[in-house]
Amino acid sequence: SQQGEEDPQALSIQEGENATMNCSYKTSINNLQWYRQNSGRGLVHLILIRSNEREKHSGRLRVTLDTSKKSSSLLITASRAADTASYFCATDETSYDKVIFGPGTSLSVIP
Amino acid sequence: DVKVTQSSRYLVKRTGEKVFLECVQDMDHENMFWYRQDPGLGLRLIYFSYDVKMKEKGDIPEGYSVSREKKERFSLILESASTNQTSMYLCASSLSRTGGNEKLFFGSGTQLSVL
């Protein structure tokens, strides 16, 4: 079963612009996490937001969570070429002891 | 920093072979996971383990088994490899399931090709 679904599938922006990616999920969750993956490598954890939190910041990253809409967004401000990567949301479901990933958003930041 | 090490970066096997993918973490994490990643499908959970000798099926366990004899090592076994198991395999670990320790640390992945 696929819990998280990212939107858009691919995003291309100019360096310096903001990038917004969205994630929707289907069931109740304990927390939602965002990860980054550079081409052909393992994933790196970016940020975790709990179900009782609405917004969280980490450097140029801002994550929001709306549990009523079962959705989250990841905003990367002032993007850089080095931000080019795939971004995944992952949900820790309350009903199951497992972390489920969405298909990801591929972000290209053009210098 | 936590290190999750996967034994091989690239692996080529033949159909019908038994394949072992090894994963070792060095930070005494309780939880370990095996995912496979395919283009357009994202990461899909194969098996996970929350304790030594304990295993739980993920979403796509068919054709796979796992072993966790020691806390730091989680092995994925393809009993009889098939071409549809050609994929990137990612191992991950986390400290615990609660208390802010749920974030996953990933290995670099093993690209397995079954010919």
Set of chain A residues whose Cβ sits within 8 Å of the Cβ of B42: 2, 88, 101-104
Residues on chain A touching B56 (C-beta within 8 angstroms):
97-98
Check pLDDT > 90 for residue A88.
Answer: yes
* A and B: number of Cβ contacts within 8 A: 65
Distance from CA of A16 to the nearest CA of B (A): 28
> Given this model, what pLDDT does residue B100 score?
58
The 10 Å CB-count burial string (b at 16+, else e) for A11-33 is: bebeeeeebbbebbbeeebbbbb
| Mean pLDDT confidence for A9-13 | 92
| Confidence label for B1 from pLDDT (cuts 50, 70 and 90) | low
When mean pLDDT is compared across A12-21, A28-37, B68-77, the lowest value belongs to A28-37
The residue among B40, B102, B41, B105 whose CA lies nearest residue A94 is B102
Q: From chain A, pick out residues whose CB is under 8 angstroms from the CB of B2.
A: none
CB count, 10 Å around CB of A46?
Answer: 19
Determine whether the interchain pair A48/B105 forms a contact, defined as Cβ–Cβ distance below 8 Å: no
Look at residue A7 in the predicted model and tell me its pLDDT: 78
How large is the average pLDDT for residues B59-79?
96
pLDDT, residue A96, reads: 61
A23-78 per-position pLDDT tens digit: 999 888 888 999 999 987 889 999 999 999 999 999 999 999 999 999 999 999 99
CA distance to partner chain A, nearest, from residue B40 (Å): 6
B12 in contact with A, Cβ within 8 Å = no
**Mean pLDDT in residue range B16-33:** 94
Residue A1 has pLDDT above 50, yes or no: no
Nearest to A110 by CA among A8, A10, A6: A10
Under the banding of pLDDT at 50, 70 and 90, the label for residue B24 is very high
Among the ranges given (A70-79, B9-18, B45-54, B106-115), the one the predictor scored with the smallest mean pLDDT: B45-54
